[in-house]
Structure 1
Amino acid sequence: MSRHATTAGADADAAHLASLGYSYDATFRREMSFWGNVSLGFTYLSPIAGIYSMFAFSLGTAGAPMAWALVIALVGQFFVALVFAEVVSNYPVAGGVYPWSRRLWGRKWAWMNGWIYLVALVGTIAAVAYGAAPFIAAIVGGELDSGGTVLIALCALAVATLLNSLGTRALSFAALAGFSAEVIGSVIIGGYLLLFGRQHGFEVLFDSQGIGDAFSGGYFGAFAAAALIGCYAYYGFEANGDLAEEIKDPSAQVPKAMRMTLYVGGLACCLLVFPLVLAVPDFHAVARGEVTDPIALLLSEAFGPLYWVAMLVISIAFISCITSIQAATSRLIYSMSRDHFLPASNFLTKFNENRHVPQNALLVAVCLPAIIIVLSLKLEKALTAMIGFGTVGIYIGFQMVVLAALRARLLGWQPAGKFKLGAWALLVNLIALGWGIIAIVNILWPRETGGGWVEDWLLIMTLVGITLVGFIYMQVSGAWQGGSAPAGDAVRSTERSVNAANALSG
């Protein structure tokens, strides 16, 4: 590409950003490649981290057919990704769900979406860092107590923060490294188990063998609970849009990156979960709790002395996942602060002049998860609540955008980005909303945990509490009134464009 074409493209990106109400002053650098953006979304999605965290629970709850939950969730989330792709093509602004909600609906909707999503991301960072500890320790064959888990989790968080602090290009390279390690690891692990470790025929994928029949609600209830593995596996594609101001031609490139993230992520998930299921010798032993970590057992038997290599790949996947989620979180904090929606907004919008990174927003994105991790030593239930809220909060954040897009369409919004759904837009939007509501209800459903009603209803109570705190703060502080950037203008912009076109034609 010629220098003139590159300059023209940069000018077009700057002009588009300016038309959306934000002056381009080279605060961010558009140094992320297309595959760097895909890798960011993929490592946030992290098939290895998601599947390995939920595999034993899902298999023990519903047996081998639970693997199909990943296919169902992939299809549902693909409709959500299509809606997001159209929205981000229209509004390629840093921060993702917050600026999209701001333009599609308005300030209050944007504040509540930003608040819920921010708390969810902080909880998710803490959860992934905490979940990485056993795999990192396994590389050297170490045994972990609670203190050791916290220490390793904090170290993983520190490594992710260092990678993020080096700038967009370093983040892109780190994401690509994590992406490569995870894809190669998924192919090797899944391929080896399928070829040499398979203990069952493929027909077992349609036979629960009686596992889950005694679950509350029968096998349907068991499968719904086990399907949480699918809900946990397929978010992360929104991170492609969180860094929209750091990739060239984002109106065209980010929508493609979102779809590619799900294509590759879905393939990697299937390459892992189906061979893993077929390689587990005794499903009932997992259901009875006699085998609590079937993946570790399978890998140690399959790879023997090279077991530590598998643990290394898994550890890289977890750290890459932390890095990508933290990057998305810092951009969300920056985006909300740029519009003066958060306390200490002037502090949170400060940039590292050399690295072009929102350093203070990044500082918050490491300190808050670190506090949650440390508090887990004394308040284990608090960590459990935040980990649980991480997933449902992200899904609610997604569906607030999907609902806002549907509302805007019904009021006459006509997307003007480079990616459009055209005649299929309304149907795709409705399917995405229906899927999201089903997923949220499934995640929130108060299932029996054996810890009493408080534990059964803990996630719902956490959601209500966090939502109320955000709503009350919004009302009392007036934070939603901040910023001069347009809000709720999607329909009005369409009306202005139509009126202008009519005037010209007349």
Structure 2
Amino acid sequence: MEPHKHKHIDALHVASDDAQLAALGYTSNFDRTMTVWQNFALGFTYLSPVVGVYSVFAFGLQAGGPPMIWSYLIAGLGQFLVALVFGEVVSQFPISGGLYPWARRLVGRRWAWLAGWIYAWALFTTIAAVVLGAGPFLATLFGVSNTPEFTTIASLVLIAISTAVNMRGTKLLARVAMFGFICELVGAIVVGIDLLTMHRVQPLSTVFNTFGVQGSGSYVPAFLAAALVGLFCCYGFEACGDVAEETPNPSVEIPKAMRMTIYVGVGASAFVCFALMLAVPNMANVISGKEVDPIGDILLNAFGPLGAKAVIVVVMVSFISCVLSLQAAVSRLLFSYARDEMIVGSRFLSRLAENAHVPEGALLISGLMPAAIVVIGYFLQNALATVLNFAVIGIYLAFQMIVAAALYARSRGWQPTGQFRLGAWAWPVNLLALGYGVAAIVNMAWPRTPSEPWFLNYSMILTVAIIGGLGILYMVLGRPYLKGHAPYGDAAVLHKRVG
């Protein structure tokens, strides 16, 4: 097809997308230039197989031994069901900000406000967890000691770089996300194949060998504890919907990008974990905790000092692109909140940069809040573990608020009208997605360290109670959900609005 015909078709798509958005009650000044592959790359780099696996590999082996790898399959299947539900919702409501506007249209203003609050804090803590997790790899790359001071400074620098890149606009974000996707996928495949063919130490049957982590009891509790590995690595697809107003033909392309993120992202995560696991020289030392940096040792043994640093460079590209995608997601959420006048400082947070057409105020806050968490974490013990805990459970709570909202809307008569529909499978898929999500949340929140102080043993429940409680208190006292005039509770055909 000739170039001018491509441009004509793109212009028609943009006009149609703007008309659909106007029918939903909004106008947009975003650059609608993100292709479906770039949208998928955003979700993939947010999910980031390398970041996920490299961050929790040692924990997974210590908690559940090699069979922990099967948690990727369980989490992948469960999150695929969630992605199908999200696909139906975003196809009908392709609005920037993702979870918040979806909850607003499916249920109402208060439910949406609380879902957005939880999701925003989960993303802030996820960004902090990712940059803190990058510290040890940066220390190895530069040949310095991985001190708390170095990790804190490196984390703040990564956040600053990400904020600066995001401020440049959608086109640069999309290009960097695509570059990160290519580097990460190629790096994961090349390193994985090399480890499996040239440096495999463990037999294939290792994935069924618990190495006695369960002691004299059942293996199930150990596996459930290690399942955090799969849960941590199998989300990110929702970011595809956060930039709905920056993607042409979003009703078709975003559900597709979400599913692609699950297929490729979870598959790559399992492959990377499998390759690393079979290259562990002494599994008993890793499981016992004697070997504190198994990935560093694996890379050094396999590729030598120079080769290991080359792999770490690819790993750092993955970390940076992951932070970029996370920050883009939370900034669009804050923008969507502010556009509906649902939060303090709405005028500042909903302002788009004149040239870059990105929410510069929201991006600034999406850098400052994770930076504050990093600094606070410097003065607290077990900061990364605590931050990581809420990062995961907060995301899952927000997800299930949307899954439950879709069920609620269906019970009220909602018939999805987007271009992606589940048809007769809608109810069973929705119910199974909710069951999976609730089970995952219960598993994550279950206290497993009775020897630790109570506030550490119950850290997940405690952080959820504090953040959720503050959100409810803010909502009840300030009634921010009553501000603004954006539509709400209109997914189903009702005689009166709900919310």
TM interval, short-chain normalised: over 0.9
Equivalent AA in structure 2 for residue 419 of structure 1 = F
How is 1:200-215 mapped onto 2 (pairs within 5 angstroms)? 200-213=202-215
Task: Kindly indicate whether the alpha-carbon contact (under 8 Å) linking 1:60 and 1:284 is maintained by their aligned counterparts in 2.
Answer: no
State yes or no: 1:13 paired with 2:17: yes
The 2-side partners of 1:79 and 1:247 are apart by 23
- Superimposed CA distance per residue, residues 314-344 of structure 1 (whole angstroms, 9 cap, x where no aligned partner): 1111111101000000000000000011101
Paired residues of 2:66 and 2:207 also in contact (CA < 8 A): yes
Alignment partner of 1:198 is 2:196: no
Match of 2:252 in 1: 252
Amino acid of the structure 2 residue aligned with 1:220: V
Q: RMSD of aligned C-alpha atoms?
A: 1.5
Q: Return the alpha-carbon distance in structure 1 between the equivalents of residues 381 and 289 of structure 2.
A: 22
Give 1:425's aligned residue: 426
In structure 1, runs of 5+ residues without a counterpart are: 497-506
1:305-344 superposed matches below 5 A: 305-344=306-345
Specify the code of the residue in structure 2 equivalent to 1:233: C
Count of aligned pairs between the two proteins: 491
Structure 1 residues 71 and 84 mapped into 2: Cα distance closer, same or farther (>3 Å)? Answer: same
What TM-score, normalized to structure 1?
0.95
Distance in 2 (CA, whole Å) between partners of 1:369 and 1:2 is: 41
The answer to whether the Cα contact below 8 Å between 2:10 and 2:248 also exists between their aligned partners in 1 is no
Letter in structure 2 aligned against 1:476: L
Deviations 1:443-493 (A, max 9, x none): 111111642222101211111111111001101101011221111111127
Give the corresponding residue for 2:35: 33
Q: Is 2:159 the counterpart of 1:157? A: yes
Deviation string, structure 1 residues 99-120 (Cα, Å, up to 9, x no partner): 0000000000000000011111
The answer for the alignment partner of 1:94 in structure 2 is 96
2:132/2:384 contact within 8 Å kept: no
Superposition pairs of residues 28-67 of structure 1, within 5 angstroms: 28-67=30-69
1:220 is the counterpart of 2:224: no
Change (3 A) 1:61 1:115: same
- Cα distance in 2, alignment partners of residues 230 and 382 from structure 1: 21
2:343 aligned counterpart, secondary structure: coil
Alignment partner of 1:84 is 2:86? yes
Contact 1:87–1:100 (CA under 8 A) maintained in structure 2? yes
Corresponding residue of 2:132: 130
Shift, 1:209, TM fit:
2.7
Tell me the SS of whatever aligns to 1:115: helix
* Identity of matched residues, %: 46
**Post-superposition CA distance 1:77-136 (Å, at most 9, x none):** 100001011110010000010000000000000000000111111111111111111112
**Following the alignment from structure 1 to structure 2, what is the Cα–Cα distance between the partners of residues 228 and 482?**
38
Residues in 2 aligned to 1:229 and 1:373: alpha-carbon distance in whole angstroms: 22
Residue number in structure 2 paired with 1:499? none
Q: Does 1:177 align with 2:171?
A: no
Aligned to 1:454: 455
After superposition, the C-alpha distances for 1:369-392 in whole angstroms (9 at most, x for unaligned) are 111111222234566433321110
CA contact (8 A) 1:132 1:315 kept: yes
Partner of 1:373: 374
Q: List gaps (5 residues or longer) in structure 2.
A: none
Q: Partner letter of residue 135 of structure 1?
A: F
Matching residue's letter, 2:139: A
Contact preservation (8 Å) 1:211, 1:284:
no
Q: Give the corresponding residue for 1:270.
A: 270
1:22 and 2:26 are equivalent in the alignment: yes
